Structure 1
Amino acid sequence: MNQRRISLITLGGTISSEATRATSGVVPVSGADLFRQEVEHWVPGIELLPHELRLVPSPSLHLDDLLALHRYVVALPDDVDGVVVSQGTDTIEETAFALDLLGTAADRPVVVTGAMRSRAAAGEDGPANLVSSALVAASEQARDAGVLVQFADLVHSARWVSKRSTFHVDAFSSDPLGPIGYVAEGQAHLEHLPRRRPALAAPESATARVALVSTGSGDDLAMLPSLADAGYDGVVLSGVGAGHVAASAVENVSAAASRIPVLLASRTGAGPVAERTYGYPGGEIDLVERGVLTAGRLSPVKARVLLALLLSAGLTGDTLRAAVASHT
């Protein structure tokens, strides 16, 4: 492999965490330069350019942090061949999807990774994930593939990947399509590339507050109409099955949708929100007639990222509806 220059951007998370005397449990403390040494030891053909952008647990990453990450990546010089982003695994799917929506990987591969075991644990997986991610980011195959997630030597598309385990090392999967590639013997292999969609214009800042509300059997969603009064600009409703709510909830859904956008996703984790199958009160046909938008195959957390970006960019009405439809 010719010498490749890879930007390593660290945000914190388990991969950066160690035990300290001041706390019980591990916390993010390690910087990017240590990661550079580890990767360059195992892959001499890669020059890693470390930059510590944030040092926080991933639940504390705000959409504004992801916009800052996007701006940093697109401003990198042309001689940077690829990018690896390391962060906590809890919200990797949100980071990767936000970057993918914004077209962050338009000029060079962008790979997001992390670790399930901290630097204080036996058999830490962070260094191996960094090495494999650097190999993917350095690969010509990864160009024009959109933002990718590499974990445990499997390569996932940002659109489909999700975290499926709280502790297993192979914590990520891509239902229903599976990984798009893998890393073996020091080489990245991408077997099929995802369909590319037009990039969203990045808003100046993440001004929109979007709630995520999950429903269940018999839930009347009584709190839904009050979200607008609480300062929320939109809400993602994680419905049961193919995107449904209880009959007792429909008036509350209507009341909410009359004031703020309501985007309906499925809590199942696989399969699209239905469009024309169920006509009972609380079924998807009824909800759409009440002004609810549908998220297609997007998971609830990814639907929230999409809606927050669109609302922060100032989209409303039919323009918002069209943008949702083109990215779900």
Structure 2
Amino acid sequence: MTLLLIATGDLIAHRAAGVATGRELLELAGPPPERVVVEDFLAEPSWDTSVSTQLALARRVRKALAEDEFTGVVVTHGVDTLEETAFLADLMAGPARGGIVFTGALRPLHHAAPDGPANLAASLAAAADPALRGAGAVVCFGDELHAARWATLTNAGFASTPHPLLGRVVDGRPRLTSTPPFRPPHPGGEPEADVALLKTYPEMPASLLTMVTDLGAQGVVLEGTGEGNVPVELFGTIMGLIQMDIPVVVASRANTTEIGMAESMGAISAAGLSAQKARIALMAALSKGGGVAAAAGYFAGL
């Protein structure tokens, strides 16, 4: 029974003099529940995490469980884009069984009260427990467990609102208080890296939408209003992109499944995902080089 700890640096590893290694973080977290293999992974700061880094982490997580026979994987990650990387790992994990836990910190090691060591200790305990095997990727923060599909960064850590908390780590054991989301469809190939995300606003010029596709975007996610509506100025361009087999997914800033009149133009509902998560899902949907039909089918299965 062996866990894999993938340490990417960032705030959880920051101290007054340099950055702690994964092994040093493990020592600060206290005795692990079982043997741990540590891999230090060179990554950009979380606020600038590249798609190639996110894909490499997701691939490593999947291989660790599907081929290398680790019982669970813990990834330390900066909080800024942690939820996106965790969701990508969730989508790419497929049928691989084993705990997948992402964690980080809001306060560095040189802070008077660093939160990273406790978060890592709870994450290792969660990843080692059979309760999380097959549950997909989760985010562990402040002893709370959030399904990667719903985890959202807040100024106090992570939340799952409006969805229920997946569970908590109590006395070193995860206790699930709700049912994990059903497993998403496996993309079956390498996700498409070039997917754009645009936040809409009243009288937004359609040229902003065509600009990203002219630059090579193979799909576009638009964040609309509470009911998923987007400016009328974009309707013609959305229809044109659909006819070019470039999928347009519309997410709601309130995470509803409605997308207003854009649906009649051929746009695809983000299925309640936040805009940033919808971008990750669209990357996965286009993994086999498909277009609108592939994206629509994938989101229908979310």
Shared fold per TM-score greater than 0.5: yes
In the alignment, what sits opposite 2:40? 52
Q: Deviations over 1:131-158 (max 9, x none)?
A: 0001101111111211111000100101
Output the CA distance in 1 between the equivalents of 2:293 and 2:69.
41
Deviation (angstroms), 1:19: 4.2
| Contact preservation (8 Å) 1:219, 1:245 | no
Deviation (angstroms), 1:207: 4.6
User: Partner letter of residue 79 of structure 2?
Assistant: T
1:100 to 73, 90, 99: 90
Output the CA distance in 2 between the equivalents of 1:74 and 1:231.
28
In the alignment, what sits opposite 2:281? 306
Does 2:250 align with 1:264? yes
Shift in CA distance, 116/213, structure 1 to aligned 2, threshold 3 Å? same
Output the CA distance in 2 between the equivalents of 1:66 and 1:97.
10
Does 2:188 align with 1:191? no
Aligned length: 299
Deviation (angstroms), 1:99: 1.0
In the alignment, what sits opposite 1:61? 49
Q: Deviations over 1:240-270 (max 9, x none)?
A: 11100223332333344443211100122x4
| Contact preservation (8 Å) 1:226, 1:256 | no
Shift in CA distance, 257/79, structure 1 to aligned 2, threshold 3 Å? closer
1:244 to 229, 235, 245: 229
Output the CA distance in 2 between the equivalents of 1:79 and 1:251.
51
Output the CA distance in 1 between the equivalents of 2:195 and 2:294.
18
| Contact preservation (8 Å) 1:8, 1:32 | yes
Q: Deviations over 1:3-33 (max 9, x none)?
A: x52210012221122345xxxxxxx832111
| Contact preservation (8 Å) 2:249, 2:267 | yes
In the alignment, what sits opposite 1:35? 25
In the alignment, what sits opposite 1:278? none
Q: 1:63-212 counterparts in 2 under 5 A? A: 63-76=51-64, 80-103=70-93, 106-165=96-155, 168=156, 171-204=157-190, 206-212=191-197
| Contact preservation (8 Å) 1:11, 1:87 | yes
User: Partner letter of residue 84 of structure 1?
Assistant: V
Q: Secondary structure at the match of 2:145?
A: strand
Q: Secondary structure at the match of 1:135?
A: helix
User: Partner letter of residue 178 of structure 1?
Assistant: P
Larger Cα Rg: Structure 1 or Structure 2?
1
User: Partner letter of residue 81 of structure 1?
Assistant: T
User: Partner letter of residue 274 of structure 1?
Assistant: E
| Contact preservation (8 Å) 2:164, 2:178 | no
In the alignment, what sits opposite 1:16? 13
Output the CA distance in 2 between the equivalents of 1:299 and 1:222.
24
Output the CA distance in 1 between the equivalents of 2:208 and 2:119.
42
User: Partner letter of residue 6 of structure 1?
Assistant: L
Q: Can you give the 5+ residue segments of structure 1 that lack an aligned partner in the other structure? A: 21-27, 276-283
| Contact preservation (8 Å) 1:12, 1:58 | no
In the alignment, what sits opposite 1:279? none
Report the aligned-residue RMSD.
Answer: 2.2
Q: Deviations over 1:272-298 (max 9, x none)?
A: 2316xxxxxxxx2x3122121110110
Output the CA distance in 2 between the equivalents of 1:66 and 1:202.
17
Shift in CA distance, 73/90, structure 1 to aligned 2, threshold 3 Å? same
Output the CA distance in 1 between the equivalents of 2:103 and 2:288.
28
Output the CA distance in 1 between the equivalents of 2:229 and 2:28.
48
| Contact preservation (8 Å) 1:98, 1:305 | yes
Output the CA distance in 2 between the equivalents of 1:201 and 1:241.
29
Q: Can you give the 5+ residue segments of structure 2 that lack an aligned partner in the other structure? A: none
Instruction: Out of 177-186 and 132-141, give the one that drifted further.
Output: 177-186
Output the CA distance in 2 between the equivalents of 1:53 and 1:7.
12
Q: 1:199-238 counterparts in 2 under 5 A? A: 199-204=185-190, 206-238=191-223
Name the structure where helix makes up a greater proportion of residues: 2
